[in-house]
Amino acid sequence: MEIDGNVVAKAGGVQRRLGGSRAVLFVFAMEGLENMAFVANAVSLFTYFYGYMNFSITKSATTLTNFMGTAFLLSLFGGFLSDTYLSRFTTCVLFGTFEILGYGLLTVQARVHQLRPTPCNSAAALSGGSQCEAATGGQSAMLYIGLYLIALGTSGVKAALPSLGADQFDTKKNPKDAGKLSSFFNWFLFSLTVGAIVGVTVVVWISANVGWDWGFGLCGVAVLSAVVFVSMGKSLYRMNAPSGSPFVRFAQVFVAAIRNWNVPTPAAEDELYEIKEKGKGGINGEILQRTHQFRGFWTRQQQ
């Protein structure tokens, strides 16, 4: 497979094009299945916390909002790892695995009665007729580990999966891909919506009427299937290599400025160093005019 390329050599020297509409079918499958699991739990976990983990109404709401907030905030972290150190494909598979582990923990906890408190009659508890058994520290820890593994997993998938799909259309080398790229995002949103609809109907009904262990288990199987689907398309993907950390480049500017603080600045601007090669961080567009306020950032032409 050729990284940052459009073709891949097959046995016998025959070449075929990477990316395109065939490749993104696997992306649509992963998005629909993963979002089905996430949305189903986003709308029903409050009931699980309150009715099965014996959390108070306030604690149930707080736990749910913390889980949702963490899932979306960690998308920044997932996107950073995807663009800097890991490829987008690797990020989807790795973080999808974290999500599977989280659903597995919640499934086991919902299935084994000793791993969660005994559910109590809420009406009787409110009237003072009985006292609800509080979750122990170990039971709460298992719940939170499962929840935040799911939050971590879904954050990486949500950050990397749309970009993985968009990478399959090279609008610079093939102008026809521009229209296909717009169509991709429409179908991506359609897949997301279909998954959400199935999640809030089928999965929520199973959790409420069959059992939470079945609901969590179905979500785990869905995400596992999503990872399998996206992995099946690996041979078709155009994969962009990670570009490195922008923070390192940002820091290098200041390190170079400190080192060159007392270096005499050349009078002729053609003696200044410019990176103009493509693929090496060069400037492919307009070069901004220099000012004299920050002459320490100037460097001489390398000999």
Enumerate domains of the chain plus CATH numbers. Answer: 7-236 (1.20.1250.20), 246-297 (no CATH)
pLDDT at 28: 93
Q: Which residues pair with 300 in a beta bridge?
A: 272
Mean pLDDT of the chain: 81
pLDDT 10s digits, 207-232? 999 999 999 999 999 999 999 999 99
Q: Are the C-beta atoms of 5 and 18 separated by less than 8 Å?
A: yes
pLDDT at 234: 87
pLDDT at 121: 65
Q: How far apart are CA 26 and CA 294, in angstroms?
A: 50
- Is the predicted pLDDT of residue 282 greater than 50, yes or no? no
Residue 174 structure tokens = 């093939």
- Is the predicted pLDDT of residue 3 greater than 50, yes or no? no
Least confident of 18-32, 140-154, 284-298: 284-298
Closest C-alpha to 36, from 226, 163, 214, 186 = 226
pLDDT at 40: 95
More reliable by pLDDT, 290 or 128 = 290
- Is the predicted pLDDT of residue 187 greater than 60, yes or no? yes
Q: Coil, strand, or helix at residue 272?
A: strand
Residue 89 structure tokens = 């494909």
pLDDT tier, 243 (very low <50, low <70, confident <90, very high otherwise): confident
- Is the predicted pLDDT of residue 205 greater than 90, yes or no? yes
Q: Are the C-beta atoms of 150 and 41 separated by less than 8 Å?
A: yes
Q: Coil, strand, or helix at residue 262?
A: coil
Closest C-alpha to 218, from 58, 7, 33, 12 = 33
**Cα 59 to the chain's mean position, in Å?**
27
- Is the predicted pLDDT of residue 197 greater than 60, yes or no? yes
Q: Are the C-beta atoms of 237 and 55 separated by less than 8 Å?
A: no
pLDDT 10s digits, 139-154? 999 999 999 999 999 9
Closest C-alpha to 125, from 196, 31, 57, 30 = 57
- Is the predicted pLDDT of residue 196 greater than 50, yes or no? yes
Tell me, what amino acid is at 237? Y
Please state the pTM of the whole predicted model: 0.77
Closest C-alpha to 34, from 88, 126, 122, 97 = 97
CA distances, 201 to each of 11, 210, 215, 276 (Å): 47, 13, 12, 56
Average pLDDT over residues 103-111: 95
More reliable by pLDDT, 245 or 83 = 83
